[in-house]
């Protein structure tokens, strides 16, 4: 008797503003979706997904862990953001398929819900304090109780007094608008040297930031312990770490919050393990997700089943989405509606959202490659973006 329910097709769709969706179909007509967005390298990740399809077509989609092991370790050369992102999109789609086949949301497959709602934060821009205040007010109007802001734009190597004063003024304005009962996180984006980040942290402490994110670039995680020891502000990092092994040194250094990106760090399977590892260090997770609806839904599914989940990043209405919005690709926006500063537990099968396939296919036909800008210091040398 012929086996039914095996994977018959693997497709990927690059869509505006800078995302990559993965679609996996079985021969009995079931479809699962995932997100493999790697900003700036979508076309490269897409090639990796195409190569993974050679292994996946004809296979049983229910063997999610076996597929994760083969796709991450089956070839001699492994690791890195491109392959990890491709695996992430496939992994999410396989979990989506399994949830749909069984008629349950993914969080029920992960052990069941440990919470009924997840707090979320929104991004705010603004180059001066007044703009920051206006942007935060807009986030409060939609019901959010927490925001995150970049500490700065391009930062000189040793951080001048005027540069640091400007950061403090903007965060102070954020605190003024938010008051004492709401939160502002500050993202250093790897733009600061360790010395400048330590100096800035001491200036920000009276403003009580929710956390300081990525105070050093990820390849310098071996010095993040010196950042942790320099401040009482919780230190967060992890959007550019792609496995448990890469998170381990940062957790050993004492970070308070790990930020795996479910579109980069091995999908639902590996991010769940990263969360469990973080729990052994009394650390929480706040998954990185300035991405599309599938990545957000995957983050929420993990969050509903993860005891040490703190808060969820999301990019609905974010200032740098150009050409498409998060909710443009979903049929029903209700599951991703803000309620009391966050999201209520998703109840639909699989990832809990329905993708508008027609809109995705149309958007893929209009795809234009996106790359982040390259910044330079005044002397002409490259600056961290």
- Which residues are designated catalytic? 189, 288
Closest C-alpha among 156, 111, 151 to residue 305: 111
* Secondary-structure percent of the chain, ordered helix, strand, coil, rounded to 5: 40, 15, 40
How far apart are alpha carbons 382 and 198 in whole angstroms?
22
Give the other-Cβ count within 10 Å of 147's Cβ. Answer: 23
CA distances to 20, 38, 112, 367 from 42, in Å:
6, 6, 33, 10
User: Which tokens is 91 given?
Assistant: 């992994």
* Dihedral sign (CA 35, 36, 38, 41): negative
User: Which tokens is 316 given?
Assistant: 């609905």
Q: Supply the DSSP symbol for 346.
A: P
How far apart are alpha carbons 78 and 154 in whole angstroms?
33
Q: Cis link prior to 17 (omega < 30° from 0)?
A: yes
How far apart are alpha carbons 297 and 303 in whole angstroms?
10
How far apart are alpha carbons 97 and 24 in whole angstroms?
8
The answer to whether the CB of 33 falls within 8 A of the CB of 351 is: yes
How far apart are alpha carbons 143 and 151 in whole angstroms?
23
Dihedral angle, C-alpha 244, 248, 254, 258, nearest 10 °: -20
- Between strands 19-26 and 31-35, the pairing is antiparallel
Identify the three-state secondary structure at position 367. coil
R_g over Cα of the chain: 20
The answer to whether the CB of 132 falls within 8 A of the CB of 173 is: yes
User: Which tokens is 223 given?
Assistant: 């010095």
């Amino acid at each position: 008797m012929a086996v039914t329910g095996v994977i018959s097709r693997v497709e990927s769709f690059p869509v505006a503003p800078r995302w990559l969706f993965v679609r996996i179909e079985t021969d009995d007509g079931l479809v699962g979706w995932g997100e493999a967005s790697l900003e700036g390298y979508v076309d490269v990740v897409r090639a990796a997904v195409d190569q993974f399809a050679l292994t996946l077509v004809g296979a049983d989609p229910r063997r999610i862990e076996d597929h994760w092991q083969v796709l991450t370790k089956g070839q001699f050369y492994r690791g890195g953001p491109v392959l990890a992102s491709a695996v992430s999109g496939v992994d999410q789609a396989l979990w989506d398929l399994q949830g749909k086949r069984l008629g349950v949301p993914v969080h029920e497959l992960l052990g069941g819900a440990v919470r009924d709602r997840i707090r979320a934060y929104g991004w705010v821009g603004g180059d001066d304090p007044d703009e920051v205040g206006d942007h935060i007010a807009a986030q409060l109007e939609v019901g959010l109780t927490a925001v995150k802001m970049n500490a700065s734009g391009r930062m000189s190597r040793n951080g001048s007094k005027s540069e640091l004063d400007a950061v403090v003024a903007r965060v102070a304005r954020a605190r003024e608008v938010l008051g004492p009962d709401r939160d502002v996180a500050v993202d250093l984006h790897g733009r600061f040297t360790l010395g400048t980040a330590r100096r800035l942290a001491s200036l920000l402490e009276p403003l009580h930031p929710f956390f300081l994110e990525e105070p050093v670039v990820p390849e310098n995680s071996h010095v993040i312990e010196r950042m942790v020891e320099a401040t009482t502000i919780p230190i967060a990092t992890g959007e550019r770490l792609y496995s448990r092994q890469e998170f381990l040194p940062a957790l050993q250094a004492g970070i308070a919050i790990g930020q795996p990106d479910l579109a980069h760090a091995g999908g639902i399977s590996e991010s769940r393990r990263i969360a469990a590892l973080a729990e052994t260090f009394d650390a929480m997770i706040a998954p990185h997700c300035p991405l599309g609806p599938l990545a957000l839904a995957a983050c929420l599914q993990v969050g509903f089943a993860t005891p040490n989940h703190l808060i969820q990043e999301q990019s609905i209405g974010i200032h740098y989405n150009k050409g498409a919005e998060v909710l443009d690709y979903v049929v029903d926006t209700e599951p991703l509606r803000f309620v009391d500063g966050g999201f209520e537990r998703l109840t639909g099968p699989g990832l809990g959202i329905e993708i508008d396939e027609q809109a995705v296919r149309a958007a893929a036909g209009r795809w234009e490659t996106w790359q982040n800008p390259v910044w330079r210091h005044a002397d002409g040398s490259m600056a961290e973006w």
